Structures are given as structure tokens and as C-alpha cells.
């Protein structure tokens, strides 16, 4: 009983046939009622019988002729299945007195006005009544109106015969079209089922149908993205292993020196070098973890309402001692308060890594300026310095993982700006690179949409 396109299509067609039946039934019912009111068969019968009666002056003779013709008509209606009650015939004189009737007891007092056709109730049942002048006589013919339920059933029975004949002629081509149309989808399913889980090569199956083509193209795009992601992860693991190998090798070397050195100065140098390499390995490990967390986060970020200005002040205060020790000038240009709704961990990742990057590369006595502004396009966080900067041709590569500008005397992992870029995407913004302070150095600008 699982949902099925074939079952759904057949059900829709059956529903359409029911709706068609209902519309045709209403249409035929209205037409039948109009036909009774405008062009009754009894009118024609009255027009044919009246001239015959007009030439008869004797009431008995005229009554016998009327009765004979009424019996013949009733017998014919019964044989053809049209009987819905006895048709009343009355012969009246100039004073509207009933001189003859069929059936004999049908002496109901019909209104015999000038209207050609009227609908009147006799013994609780509606009759269609026609009155026709016939010489000295007035001929009254009353046909019982067919009850609503039998009339609808008769009309529906006539329509159903045609619809049931047409139903298989419609279902068959639709079923064939649906079955053959879904054949490419079945082939796509079989290809995916038979494929090795590690096989991310293109499927090479592009259905000719316009409705199925987007599905196949989406699968191809997904496989392409997975191949690229797998390649990035493979390269990331290789580069991370290479980066960790250097400090770990240095730690091993210095540990050997520390174990065998006899002079206190040599032991102190080895210990300091080992601590430095351990700090570098720890910093690199933390950055790898931060980047892995940002890469693995799926779904919308967990945003919260925060005031960005106190966060900026706390971040600058946390690096203040390090800046003072190197003679760096730190400044903040921000409003008194700047509320925003964003992912706090992603914001702190951007801020921490941009400040850490500036502190690493700005030489002693340099300047670092942090500015937060709210513009028409949204929020902008700008961290600018007057350090060595980057040539324009290298700025595009600044966010590549494990990439460091050639010739830089400062060691690093090459992951800080990659984390900034990933965190900016998590915030729904983008990061751009500009010239720094006084025409030198570099500036990183985080642009967040207005809703942030």
C-alpha cells in the first residue's frame, strides 16, 4: 500500500471520470427539463389528434376516437420502456365539462388556460399539461412528470455506458506512457543500487524526458561535489600530517638533546625549543579542530541576540598585554552599542583569528585598528594594520588552507584565514581583502547582511 505514481494517476483519472459524469448529468438534466417545458411529445400528439376530433360533433364518437388513440399510445410506451405513469386524456366541451376521459376515472380538474404547456399537480404528482382547441371541443393531455431520482438514474445510465466504454481506451495509453516514461528512472535506480559506495564517478545516465533530466543532473552535481569534498579532505589530511610532522620531529630532537645534554645552558635551550614546538603543535591542533567543526556543521546556525561592542572590547583586552609587550598600538572605532542576531562561535572565530593574524605579522611599533560600522548594506567589521601586507596577486590565495606567503619570517600554520572564511560563510557573510593603514599593510573586512 505504498504510494505509487501509477496508482495515483489511475485514481486521478477515475476522479476525472466521476467529475465528467457529474457535469454531464447536470447538463442532461437541465436540457431534459427544458425539453419537457418547450417541446413536449404530448404537444405534437395534441396537434395531431385535435383536427380529427374537430370534425366530430357527437361527444360519444369523439370520446371513443380519443380513447382508442390514447390506448394505442399507452401500449406503445409500455413496449418501448417509456412508461412513467398513465397519460391522461380529457375531452371537454365549451363549458369545460369533461365529456370523455382516459382512463375513465381521470376527471381531475386541470386548469385549461391559454398557456400551451403548464405544470400542474394532480393527486400529489406533477403533470405536464397541454390544452388544444378541437372545433367544439377542448382536448386536454396530461403526462406525469418523471420523478427526480428515476430521471437522474436514467440519464446516468445512458452516460455511464459511454464513459465505461471510453475508460479503458484512456487508461491504457496513459498507463503505457507512464510505465515507459518512468523507465529511465528505474534504470537510474538500478545503476545507483549496483554502484560501489566508493565509486563517485559520473553516472552517465541522462534521461531524454524533461521532467527527469533535472533529477539526473542533480545526482551528477552531487557526485561532483562529493568528489571535490573527498579530494579536499584527502589533501587536508596530507597537509595536516605534514604540518604536524615538523613540530613533532623538532620535539623529538630537542627531547633527545635534553636527555643527553650535560651543560645547563644546552639543557635550557633544548627545553625552550621543545616548549616552543609543543605550543606550535598545540596551536595547529586547535586550528585543525576549529576548521573541522566549521566544515562539519550542517543546517542553519544557532543564532542568538548579542551586543557586538562588548565582545570586541573583550577580544582587544585579551590581546592587550601581548600588544603592549611588542609596542603595538591597538584602537577600536565602534558605536556604544551594536545589537545583532548571529552565531556567536562563528563571530568569535573570525575576530580571534583576524587579531591573531595581525599580531603575528605586524612588526614592533606598528598599528592595528578595529572598526565596526553599520551601513545600508549591513554590518562591516574591519581589522586593518600597517604591517608587510600582501601583494594584490597573492590576496586571492590568502584564504587557501596551509598557504603562507613566500618569504615571511613569521611561522604559522596557514589555517587562520581559512577558518575566517569558513566562519564568515557560517555567518551568512563574506570576507574581502583591502589595503591597510597609510597605504601599506592589509585590511580584512567582514561584511554581514543587514539582517545579521
User: What pLDDT tens digit does each residue of the chain (452 aa) get?
Assistant: 567 777 778 888 888 888 988 898 888 888 876 766 555 677 778 888 888 888 888 889 988 998 888 888 877 777 665 556 788 888 888 888 888 988 888 877 777 665 567 778 777 778 888 888 888 998 888 888 767 777 777 778 888 888 888 888 888 888 888 888 778 888 888 887 887 777 778 877 777 777 778 888 888 888 888 888 777 777 666 656 655 666 677 778 878 777 777 788 877 887 787 777 776 667 666 666 666 666 666 556 778 899 999 999 998 988 888 888 889 999 999 999 999 888 888 888 888 888 888 888 888 889 999 999 987 778 999 999 988 888 888 878 777 776 666 656 555 566 778 878 888 888 888 898 888 888 788 999 999 987 55
Q: Angle between the 183-194 and 213-260 helix axes, to the nearest 10 degrees?
A: 20
Let me know if 282 is exposed, middle or buried by CB neighbors in 10 A (0-12, 13-18, 19+).
exposed
For residue 339, the tally of other CB atoms under 10 A from its CB is 9
Cβ-proximal residues to 397 (8 Å cutoff; 6+ apart), any chain = 403
Cα gap 281→274, rounded to integer Å: 10
Judge whether 213-295 and 300-449 match in fold.
no
Which residues, listed in sequence order, are joined to residue 443 by a DSSP beta bridge? 384, 434
Query: Which architecture characterizes domain 39-146 according to CATH?
Result: 2-Layer Sandwich (3.30)
For the domain covering 213-295, report its CATH number.
1.10.287.130
Cα gap 364→326, rounded to integer Å: 5
Residue 106 φ/ψ, nearest 5 degrees: -85, 75
Cβ-proximal residues to 320 (8 Å cutoff; 6+ apart), any chain = 330
pLDDT for position 405: 66
pTM of the model: 0.47
Per-residue b or e along 213-238, where b marks 16 or more CB atoms closer than 10 Å to that residue's CB = eeebeebeeebeeeeeeeeeeeebee
413, 405 in Cβ contact below 8 A? no
Preceding omega of 103 cis (within 30 degrees of 0): yes
Q: Distance of CA 426 to CAs 284, 293, 403, Å?
A: 21, 11, 22
Pick the CATH number of 300-449 from 3.40.1390.30, 3.30.565.10, 3.40.50.150, 3.40.50.2020: 3.30.565.10
Cα gap 165→364, rounded to integer Å: 94
Q: Delimit the domains of the chain by residue range.
A: 39-146, 213-295, 300-449
Closest CA to 100 of 147, 66, 135, 50: 66
Task: Give DSSP secondary structure letters for 276-291.
Answer: HHHHHHHHHHHHHHHH
Provide the grid cell at 205: 545516465
pLDDT for position 369: 93
Which residues, listed in sequence order, are joined to residue 374 by a DSSP beta bridge? 379
Closest CA to 56 of 65, 47, 68: 65
Q: Distance of CA 401 to CAs 43, 54, 415, 416, 440, Å?
A: 98, 114, 5, 8, 24
Amino acid at each position: 500500500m505504498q504510494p505509487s505514481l501509477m496508482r495515483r494517476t489511475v485514481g486521478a483519472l477515475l476522479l476525472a471520470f466521476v467529475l465528467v459524469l457529474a457535469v454531464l448529468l447536470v447538463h442532461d438534466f437541465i436540457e431534459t427539463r427544458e425539453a419537457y417545458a418547450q417541446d413536449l411529445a404530448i404537444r405534437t400528439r395534441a396537434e395531431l389528434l385535435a383536427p380529427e376530433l374537430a370534425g366530430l360533433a357527437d361527444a360519444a364518437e369523439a370520446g371513443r376516437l380519443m380513447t382508442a388513440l390514447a390506448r394505442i399510445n399507452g401500449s406503445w410506451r409500455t413496449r418501448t420502456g417509456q412508461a412513467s405513469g398513465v397519460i391522461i386524456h380529457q375531452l371537454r366541451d365549451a363549458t369545460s365539462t369533461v365529456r370523455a376521459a382516459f382512463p375513465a376515472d381521470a376527471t381531475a380538474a386541470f386548469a385549461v388556460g391559454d398557456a400551451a404547456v403548464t405544470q400542474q399537480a394532480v393527486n400529489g404528482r406533477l403533470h405536464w399539461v397541454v390544452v388544444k382547441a378541437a372545433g367544439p371541443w377542448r382536448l386536454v393531455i396530461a403526462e406525469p412528470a418523471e420523478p427526480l431520482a428515476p430521471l437522474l438514474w436514467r440519464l446516468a445510465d445512458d452516460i455511464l455506458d459511454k464513459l465505461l466504454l471510453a475508460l479503458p481506451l484512456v487508461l491504457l495509453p496513459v498507463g503505457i506512457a507512464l510505465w515507459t516514461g518512468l523507465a529511465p528512472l528505474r534504470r537510474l535506480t538500478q545503476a545507483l543500487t549496483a554502484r560501489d559506495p566508493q565509486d563517485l564517478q559520473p553516472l552517465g545516465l541522462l534521461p531524454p524526458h524533461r521532467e527527469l533530466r533535472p533529477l539526473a543532473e542533480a545526482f551528477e552535481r552531487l557526485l561532483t561535489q562529493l568528489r571535490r569534498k573527498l579530494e579536499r579532505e584527502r589533501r587536508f589530511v596530507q597537509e595536516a600530517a605534514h604540518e604536524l610532522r615538523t613540530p613533532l620531529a623538532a620535539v623529538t630532537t630537542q627531547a633527545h638533546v635534553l636527555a643527553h645534554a650535560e651543560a645547563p645552558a644546552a639543557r635550557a635551550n633544548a627545553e625552550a625549543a621543545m616548549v616552543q614546538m609543543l605550543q606550535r603543535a598545540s596551536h595547529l591542533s586547535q586550528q585543525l579542530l576549529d576548521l573541522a567543526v566549521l566544515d562539519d556543521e550542517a543546517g542553519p546556525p544557532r543564532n542568538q541576540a548579542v551586543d557586538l561592542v562588548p565582545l570586541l572590547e573583550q577580544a582587544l583586552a585579551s590581546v592587550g598585554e601581548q600588544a603592549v609587550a611588542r609596542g603595538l598600538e591597538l584602537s577600536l572605532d565602534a558605536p556604544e552599542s551594536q545589537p545583532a542576531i548571529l552565531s556567536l562561535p562563528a563571530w568569535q572565530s573570525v575576530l580571534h583569528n583576524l587579531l591573531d593574524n595581525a599580531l603575528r605579522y605586524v612588526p614592533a611599533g606598528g598599528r592595528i585598528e578595529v572598526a565596526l560600522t553599520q551601513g545600508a548594506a549591513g554590518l562591516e567589521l574591519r581589522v586593518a594594520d600597517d604591517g608587510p601586507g600582501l601583494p594584490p596577486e597573492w590576496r586571492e590565495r590568502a584564504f587557501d588552507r596551509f598557504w603562507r606567503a613566500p618569504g615571511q619570517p613569521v611561522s604559522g600554520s596557514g589555517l587562520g584565514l581559512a577558518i575566517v572564511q569558513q566562519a564568515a560563510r557560517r555567518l551568512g557573510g563574506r570576507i574581502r581583502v583591502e589595503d591597510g593603514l597609510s597605504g601599506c599593510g592589509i585590511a580584512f573586512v567582514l561584511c554581514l547582511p543587514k539582517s545579521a
